Amino acid sequence: KAGVTQTPRYLIKTRGQQVTLSCSPISGHRSVSWYQQTPGQGLQFLFEYFSETQRNKGNFPGRFSGRQFSNSRSEMNVSTLELGDSALYLCASSHLPGTGVEQYFGPGTRLTVT
């Protein structure tokens, strides 16, 4: 079974631009979560989606948004990029949301903002 895939793997953008990142979950998984990883802040939770509905949102500004489609694929968007948005963006999928459920992570999208 194919793992979680994320596209693109690497991206360079300029301050002020916007970016859209894509995540395809493992087949059959209906829950998708997004995380941001930086050297200074570590891994931080962004959003969690299940059945096209956002269940949880982390403490990030409104410039960060996401959505999930009916086929469980998910996208996240960052508008008006800032230098501090440079990070590894990770997507994870699971069968369902919940406490006793393991998540499977993709390789991430490395975003560099110049």
Partner 1 sequence: DAKTTQPNSMESNEEEPVHLPCNHSTISGTDYIHWYRQLPSQGPEYVIHGLTSNVNNRMASLAIAEDRKSSTLILHRATLRDAAVYYCILRGNTPLVFGKGTRLSVIA
Contact between 111 and partner 1 (CB under 8 A)? no
- List 22, 67, 86, 104, residue binding partner 1 (CB under 8 A): 104
Bridge partner residues of 24 (DSSP): 5
DSSP class of 72: S
103 interacts with partner 1 by CB under 8 A: yes
* Cα distance between residue 32 and residue 91, in whole Å: 7
Choices 8-16, 18-26, 36-44, 73-81 (CB under 8 A): range interacting with partner 1: 36-44
Residues 6+ apart with CB under 8 A from 101: 31, 94, 95
Residues at the site binding partner 1, with contacts judged by CB under 8 A: 4, 33, 35, 42-45, 48, 56, 58, 90, 92, 98-100, 102-108
